[in-house]
């Protein structure tokens, strides 16, 4: 028996929650640990901030590119079926139709395996932004230099919450068809 789609979403949710909780651990370490006492080098903080912003951009761009490449390998069969909910067309004999992918559940299951690597990569790169913020803070820089990085990393992680509905909408828009058998 094949696992349900909800069951297949457990691992992404667990990974996402673990990454999000790790950002809280970084804050706890900052609150407890002894930080550097020497005056911090401002240039180092600026360089770390620039690198972190580059990582933030790549946390969006690289997984999106990988997902587009993976999505291009999906080849579902699309059927034209009568759409009884649509308004009748201009001609009386013309029956409105809609595009449907009959094996929608299988397509989503296959897409879940293909989107997993870009998803994990986006989580790792988003967490890296938090780690750079943690590093800037640990070097003894004021919160003005590390809190924005930390907040950006957390926001990126929050935006990456795995949602089956987002994947289904993405697939329906890409194939311009409704997925049958998917909630």
Query: 49-77 pLDDT, tens per residue?
Result: 999 999 999 999 999 999 999 988 988 88
Instruction: Note whether residue 130 is domain-resident.
Output: yes
Total number of domains constituting the chain = 1
Residue 85 lies in a domain: no
Nearest alpha carbon to residue 65 among 17, 121, 113:
121
Query: What pLDDT, on the 0 to 100 scale, is given for residue 10?
Result: 93
How is residue 52 written in tokens?
Answer: 């972190």
Neighbouring C-alpha atoms within 13 Å toward the C-beta of 160? 32
Residue 15: which domain range? 5-31+40-76+104-162
pTM score, two decimals? 0.85
Summary mean pLDDT of the chain: 88
Structural domain includes residue 88: no
What's the pLDDT at 140? Answer: 87
Is 55 part of any domain? yes
Return phi, psi of residue 18, to 5°.
-65, -45
User: Is the C-alpha dihedral spanning 135, 140, 143, 144 positive or negative?
Assistant: negative
pLDDT of residue 146: 92
In a domain, 127, yes or no: yes
Residue 90 confidence (pLDDT): 60
Q: Is the pLDDT of residue 18 over 80?
A: yes
Determine the number of helices (DSSP H) and then strands (DSSP E) in the chain. 6, 3
The model's pLDDT over 71-127, given as tens digits with 9 standing for 90+, comes to 889 888 877 777 666 666 666 666 777 788 888 888 898 999 999 999 999 999 999
Beta bridge partners of 98: 81
**Chain centroid, CA 71 distance in Å:** 15
Domain presence at residue 89 = no
**DSSP state, residue 172:** H
pLDDT of residue 35: 73
SS3 98: strand
The arithmetic mean of pLDDT across residues 134-138, rounded, is 91
Specify which of 35-44, 85-94, 148-157 reaches the highest per-range mean pLDDT: 148-157
The per-residue b/e assignment along 31-46, b for 16 or more CB within 10 angstroms, e otherwise, is eeeeeeeeebeeeebe
Query: Tokens 């949602």 belong to which residue?
Result: 163
Q: What pLDDT, on a 0 to 100 scale, did the predictor assign at position 84? A: 67
- Please report whether residue 11 resides in a domain: yes
pLDDT (0 to 100) of residue 75? 87
Q: What is the DSSP string of 26-37?
A: HHHHHHHSPPP-
| Residue 135 neighbours by CB under 8 Å, 6+ apart | 48
Q: What is the pLDDT of residue 20?
A: 95
For residues 102 and 106, what is the distance between their CA atoms, to the nearest angstrom? 9
**pLDDT tops 80 at residue 162:** yes
Q: Is residue 13 situated within a structural domain? A: yes
């Amino acid at each position: 028996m094949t696992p349900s789609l909800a069951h297949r979403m457990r691992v992404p949710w667990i990974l996402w929650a673990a990454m999000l909780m790790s950002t809280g651990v970084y804050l706890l370490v900052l609150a407890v640990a002894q930080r550097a006492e020497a005056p911090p080098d401002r240039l180092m903080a600026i360089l770390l901030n620039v690198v972190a912003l580059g990582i933030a951009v790549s946390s969006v761009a690289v997984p999106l590119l990988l997902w587009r490449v993976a999505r291009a390998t999906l080849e579902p069969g699309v059927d034209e079926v009568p759409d009884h909910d649509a308004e009748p067309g201009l001609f009386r004999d013309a029956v409105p139709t809609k595009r449907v992918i009959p094996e929608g559940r299988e397509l989503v299951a296959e897409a879940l395996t293909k989107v997993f690597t870009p998803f994990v990569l986006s989580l790792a790169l988003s967490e890296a932004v938090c780690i750079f913020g943690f590093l800037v803070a640990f070097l003894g820089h004021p919160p003005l230099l590390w809190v924005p990085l930390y907040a950006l990393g957390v926001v990126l992680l929050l935006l990456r919450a795995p949602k089956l509905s987002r994947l289904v909408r993405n697939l329906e828009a890409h194939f311009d068809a409704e997925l049958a058998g998917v909630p």
